[in-house]
């Protein structure tokens, strides 16, 4: 796994609040491993498209998947992938200084279509385990037909930026005297109790790896 710091490029250089950026590659890995949905940005026929999709990471590669009929995934051109996690609402004493505590990543690269079946299965496993750890080993594996109908793209994590905000609001000094509540409202993603399929056979328990179990 790559351990070198993220290299700043003209596209990944954070211009607004640069002190909130980090070159720590491990921070990028932690963010991606905690997130579940990315937004894939491409330009097709001169028009921009942004597609939300699940993803998985293996080492220094981000994997995306979809149908082979997807024009977005078929276009092996340069893409921009973003992942954002919101950790809190920052409520200040003035409207101007309201903000969010967040962690975000922006990744640029030219995706590589995954054609090798072994790598494609490994990529799909990474995506599955990112959503429900251990699920891959407990379900039926893809058939040859299903695998052929699935498109997988590999995006290198070579050109990326990470930016984050944390902490309380930063009000103007004069506003601290205002009798207005200010602070941070934490935002957390929580899984509810799993709801069984109505056609589930009696006596099958919820496996430990299912979120919310």
Q: Give the model's pLDDT for residue 47.
A: 86
Look at residue 128 and tell me if it is in a domain: yes
Domain count of the fold of the chain = 1
Do residues 154 and 124 lie in contact, with contact meaning Cβ atoms separated by under 8 Å? Answer: no
Look at residue 63 and tell me if it is in a domain: yes
In this structure, which long-range contacts are made by residues 129-133, counting pairs with CB atoms below 8 Å and at least 24 apart in sequence?
129/56, 130/33, 130/36, 130/54, 130/55, 130/56, 130/57, 131/36, 131/54, 131/211, 132/209, 132/210, 132/211, 133/209
Residue by residue, pLDDT tens for the chain (213 residues) are 567 888 889 998 998 888 988 999 999 999 999 999 999 998 888 888 899 999 999 999 999 998 877 777 666 588 999 999 999 999 999 999 999 999 999 999 999 999 999 999 999 999 999 999 989 998 999 999 999 999 999 999 999 999 999 999 999 999 999 999 999 999 999 999 999 999 999 999 998 878 887
CA dihedral 70, 76, 130, 202 (to 10 degrees): 30
Q: What is the CB neighbour count within 10 angstroms for residue 195?
A: 9
Q: Give the model's pLDDT for residue 75.
A: 61
The residue to which tokens 């092996």 are assigned: 76
User: What is the domain-level CATH number for residue 25?
Assistant: 2.30.110.10
Look at residue 167 and tell me if it is in a domain: yes
Query: By residue range, what is the domain housing residue 86?
Result: 18-186
Look at residue 191 and tell me if it is in a domain: no
Q: Give the model's pLDDT for residue 193.
A: 93
| Dist CA 162 CA 83 (whole Å) | 10
Do residues 20 and 165 lie in contact, with contact meaning Cβ atoms separated by under 8 Å? Answer: yes
Q: Give the model's pLDDT for residue 191.
A: 92
- In this structure, what token pair is assigned to residue 56? 């998985």
The whole model's pTM is what?
0.90
Look at residue 148 and tell me if it is in a domain: yes
- In this structure, what token pair is assigned to residue 23? 């070159």
Look at residue 130 and tell me if it is in a domain: yes
In the three-class reduction of DSSP (H, G, I as helix; E, B as strand; rest coil), residue 112 is classed as strand
Look at residue 83 and tell me if it is in a domain: yes
Look at residue 2 and tell me if it is in a domain: no
């Amino acid at each position: 796994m790559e351990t070198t710091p993220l290299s700043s490029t003209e596209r990944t250089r954070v211009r607004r609040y640069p002190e909130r950026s980090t070159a720590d590659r491990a921070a990028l890995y932690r963010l991606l491993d905690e997130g579940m949905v990315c937004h894939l940005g491409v330009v097709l026929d001169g028009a921009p498209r942004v597609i939300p999709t699940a993803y998985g990471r293996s080492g220094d590669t981000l994997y995306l998947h979809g149908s082979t009929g997807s024009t977005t995934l078929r276009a092996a051109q340069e893409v921009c992938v973003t992942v954002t996690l919101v950790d809190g609402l920052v409520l200040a004493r003035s409207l101007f200084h309201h903000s969010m505590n967040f962690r975000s990543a922006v990744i640029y690269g030219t995706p590589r279509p995954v054609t090798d079946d072994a790598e494609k299965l490994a990529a799909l496993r990474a995506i599955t385990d990112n959503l429900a750890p251990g699920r891959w080993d407990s379900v039926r594996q893809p058939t040859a037909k299903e695998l052929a109908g699935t498109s997988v793209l590999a995006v290198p994590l070579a050109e990326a930026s990470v930016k984050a905000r944390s902490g309380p609001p930063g009000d103007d000094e004069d506003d601290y005297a205002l009798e207005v509540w200010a602070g941070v409202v934490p935002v957390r993603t929580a899984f509810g109790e799993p709801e069984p399929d109505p056609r589930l056979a009696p006596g099958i328990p919820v496996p430990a790896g299912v979120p919310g179990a």
